Amino acid sequence: MKQNLRLEPSINSYRRTFFRVLELPVSALLEYLRENPFGLSLNVELNDESETMAELIANDEKSLCEEIVENLAFARLDDETEKIAEYIAYNLDQNGHMNVTVKEICERFKVNAAVVYKAMEAIKDVGPDGVLEGKVKGYGVRSSYIEPDIIVNHDLSISLKEIHLSIPRSANKIETKIYLFLSQAIDCRRQLLLSLGQMSVRENTLFLSKKINYPQKIKMIDAAKYLGVSVSTISRAVSSKFIKTPIGIFPFRIFFGRNVEKEYLVIEIAKILDKSQNITDAEIVQKLKMQGIFISRRTVNKYRQLTMKILKGNDSIEIDNLS
């Protein structure tokens, strides 16, 4: 006798699904909902009043380790920890999984585990989502189409992609319960992205009006306290998403965290050096402060050298084209 048993999902499966709904960008979320892990037949529609088309953005084609090593300057590590962090970066596979153990690193550099873990935390801070967990995907793609989740209109109001669900009228009680859970998860995601988008605009009116060249970052712990959620929830919400503003499209995460993205820093230093090759690092620090960029002289020196290498490597590059 064949029996078909349909069990109600566990609390853990609901929790995992909620986090997936929260962290996925809108294009991937639509596909996830249509092929949801509960096997529920859903009609999923995107109500896009803004009629925003997916747009092509370009990324430099670099290895994962090169990207991390360049960004480590922003972590402000001591020399020993930075050296260990660079060693770890060069021992990551393409998915961000470590090919060496903490014990091996301790023995190689003759340090205790606390130093290694500090280096690992720095890599997580400056690296892409999923690094050290083996979950980095799509790295090294030269260009890709993206669809912004958050849109800042010209009046600085916020628009979001609206996802609507519906199920057949014949749905049973368990299916209806799952549908209601998914609808609530989508609404929570919407409210959180709306709040974070509004917070980003409030803190960055000067950046969005082009009065400074670098966005003012919001600490995730401050955003979490203000909204009454965990830091990991904020991290998931800003992960892998893009925000379209009147001055361009940006990864949403550039408005959150502690570190300065190297792309902005290289552009600004290149512009400064184009006007004066003999300027001191301390003077560059002061000029960057006027743009809303607050970094140390040591970091300026490291990225000054990187900028010079870029410019010497291609004399035909125009400074304005770097942006």
In a domain, 1, yes or no: no
Whether 224 and 192 share a structural domain: yes
pLDDT tens track for 186-204: 999 999 999 999 999 999 9
Whether 121 and 241 share a structural domain: no
Q: Cβ–Cβ contacts within 10 Å for residue 61, how many?
A: 11
pLDDT tens track for 237-260: 998 888 999 988 888 888 987 666
- On whether the CB atoms of residues 216 and 207 are closer than 8 A, the answer is yes
Our count of domains for the chain comes to 3
Whether 164 and 248 share a structural domain: yes
Whether 241 and 279 share a structural domain: no
The CA-CA-CA angle for residues 3, 4, 6, to 5°, reads 140
In a domain, 3, yes or no: no
pLDDT tens track for 132-142: 888 876 565 44
Q: What pLDDT score was predicted for residue 322?
A: 40
In a domain, 132, yes or no: no
Give the sign of the dihedral formed by CA 293, CA 297, CA 298, CA 302.
Answer: positive
Q: What pLDDT score was predicted for residue 214?
A: 74
Whether 172 and 197 share a structural domain: yes
Please, what is the end-to-end C-alpha distance for the chain in angstroms?
68
Q: What pLDDT score was predicted for residue 84?
A: 92
In a domain, 6, yes or no: no
Q: What pLDDT score was predicted for residue 314?
A: 47
Residue 18, domain extent: 11-57+143-255
Whether 178 and 236 share a structural domain: yes
Mean pLDDT by 10 residues, the chain (323 residues): 45 84 88 83 69 47 72 80 88 83 89 90 84 73 64 93 84 88 92 96 91 82 93 89 88 78 73 84 85 78 79 46 39
Whether 190 and 274 share a structural domain: no
Instruction: Flag whether the pTM goes above 0.75.
Output: no
Give CA–CA dist 35/26, Å, rounded.
14
- On whether the CB atoms of residues 97 and 122 are closer than 8 A, the answer is no
